[in-house]
């Protein structure tokens, strides 16, 4: 999955983030958290939408075609120009540059998931393969657990086959997002995910994420991924007190133990706050 352009359903924007720069391969991605009121219980529910600030035609970018041409010795720019011709897009300097950035993010990063891994105020990301697609959830520091919508509405590409004009419908279901992520994890961390190693524990230092994978046969029939997003900067003890992670007395005790270089062991289930402390 290389881009994300979903349709937003909302009863109110709650939070807005923008991810751009080198880590997102020069692309700008807006991440919006919207609120919807549950019709049964009249309680607020939150949904996160990952929206790449790119034209819709990039949904149809033939990634495998570009990869094949690169493998046969064609330069990237030439391969992209040929790919744009296949989807009826004029190969201007702007369109070639956009396609190059999307392709490089897909090839070297995590595709459309890249900005999600860079999203502020997120502690955990959960991904699970379903029969009809992919379920993605995040744990937000302030708003808690919520669903993530990443993908696009069905995109119709008009192509010519001889004298006929044929409409090709491109959907999110055409891409196996979990297999793609497993492949990217294996390549970036140089650790194969196979039936002989179905549950590796991996760390990507560039994105500061710790990844727990459960694949086939242990993860049959629904492989899943649990990602812990590590803080990009150490948390101050005052922040922990302010956010009610520890009390003033507990903070003083921890400070005293650290001052005397006393070994400290934190024990608890996932999400208890061990990494935070």
pLDDT for position 134: 82
CA neighbor of 136 nearest in space, from 19, 226, 35:
226
Mean pLDDT to the nearest integer, 168-176: 79
Tens-digit pLDDT profile for residues 78-104: 999 999 988 888 889 999 999 999 999
Tens-digit pLDDT profile for residues 43-68: 778 999 999 999 989 998 999 999 99
Q: Looking at beta carbons, which pairs linking 246-252 to residues 24 or more positions away fall under 8 Å?
A: 246/277
Kindly tell me if the per-residue pLDDT of 161 is higher than 70: no
Token pair in block for residue 81: 């120009």
* Residue 257 resides in a domain: yes
pLDDT for position 17: 93
CA neighbor of 48 nearest in space, from 172, 162, 191, 146:
146
pLDDT for position 52: 92
Which segment, 135-144, 166-175, 265-274, is predicted with the most confidence on average?
135-144
Mean pLDDT to the nearest integer, 112-123: 90
pLDDT for position 220: 62
Tens-digit pLDDT profile for residues 251-270: 888 888 888 888 888 887 76
Its domain, for residue 243, covers 234-277
User: What is the overall mean pLDDT for the chain?
Assistant: 85
* Residue 59 resides in a domain: no
Mean pLDDT to the nearest integer, 150-166: 75
Question: Under a CB-based contact definition with an 8 Å cutoff, are residues 83 and 96 in contact?
Answer: no
> How many structural domains are present in the chain?
1
Q: Look at strands 224-229 and 122-130 and give their pairing.
A: antiparallel
Kindly tell me if the per-residue pLDDT of 166 is higher than 80: no
**CA distances in angstroms from 243 to 143, 152, 276, listed in the order given:** 13, 36, 12
Kindly tell me if the per-residue pLDDT of 137 is higher than 80: yes
Token pair in block for residue 107: 């090839």
* Residue 14 resides in a domain: no
C-alpha 15/C-alpha 143 separation (Å) is: 10
Mean pLDDT to the nearest integer, 185-211: 83
* Residue 33 resides in a domain: no
Question: Under a CB-based contact definition with an 8 Å cutoff, are residues 6 and 136 in contact?
Answer: no
* Residue 267 resides in a domain: yes
C-alpha 151/C-alpha 1 separation (Å) is: 7
Kindly tell me if the per-residue pLDDT of 218 is higher than 80: no
C-alpha 164/C-alpha 53 separation (Å) is: 33
214 vs 65 pLDDT, higher one: 65
* Residue 244 resides in a domain: yes
Which segment, 53-57, 198-202, 225-229, is predicted with the most confidence on average?
53-57
- Across 112-163, the runs of DSSP E, i.e. the strands, are 122-130, 133-140, 144-149, 155-161
pLDDT for position 114: 93
SS3 annotation, 58-105:
HHHCCHHHHHHHHHCCCCHHHHHHHHHHHCCCCCCHHHHHHHHHHHHH
Which segment, 189-198, 200-209, 216-225, is predicted with the most confidence on average?
200-209
* Residue 199 resides in a domain: no
Of the chain, the percentage scoring pLDDT greater than 70 comes to 93
Q: What is the pLDDT confidence band of residue 238, given thresholds at 50, 70 and 90?
A: confident
Kindly tell me if the per-residue pLDDT of 229 is higher than 80: yes
* Residue 219 resides in a domain: no
Token pair in block for residue 161: 């086959």
Taking every pair of C-alpha atoms in the chain, what is the biggest distance, in angstroms?
A: 81
pLDDT for position 162: 62
218 vs 237 pLDDT, higher one: 237
161 vs 17 pLDDT, higher one: 17
């Amino acid at each position: 999955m290389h881009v994300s352009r979903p349709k937003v359903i909302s009863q109110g924007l709650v939070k807005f983030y923008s991810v751009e720069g080198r880590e997102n391969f020069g692309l700008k991605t807006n991440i919006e958290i919207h609120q919807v009121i549950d019709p049964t219980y009249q309680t607020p529910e939150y949904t996160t939408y990952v929206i790449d600030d790119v034209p819709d035609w990039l949904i149809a970018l033939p990634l495998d075609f570009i990869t094949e041409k690169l493998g046969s010795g064609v330069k990237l720019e030439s391969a992209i120009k040929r790919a744009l011709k296949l989807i009826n897009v004029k190969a201007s300097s702007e369109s070639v540059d956009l396609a190059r950035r999307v392709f490089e993010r897909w090839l070297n990063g995590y595709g459309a998931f890249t900005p999600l891994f860079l999203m502020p105020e997120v502690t955990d990301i959960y991904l699970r393969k379903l029969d009809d697609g992919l379920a993605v959830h995040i744990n937000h520091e302030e708003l808690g657990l919520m669903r993530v919508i990443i993908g696009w509405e069905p995109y119709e590409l008009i192509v010519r086959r001889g004298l006929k004009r044929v409409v090709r419908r491109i959907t999110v279901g055409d891409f196996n997002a979990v297999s793609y992520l497993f492949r990217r994890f294996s390549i970036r961390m140089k650790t194969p995910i196979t039936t002989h190693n179905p549950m590796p524990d991996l760390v990507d230092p560039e994105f500061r994420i710790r990844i727990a994978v459960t694949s086939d046969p242990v993860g049959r029939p629904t492989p899943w991924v649990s990602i812990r997003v590590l803080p990009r900067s150490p948390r101050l003890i005052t922040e922990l007190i302010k956010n009610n992670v520890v009390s003033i007395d507990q903070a003083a005790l921890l400070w005293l133990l650290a001052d005397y270089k006393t070994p400290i062991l934190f024990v608890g289930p996932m999400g208890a706050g061990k990494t935070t402390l």
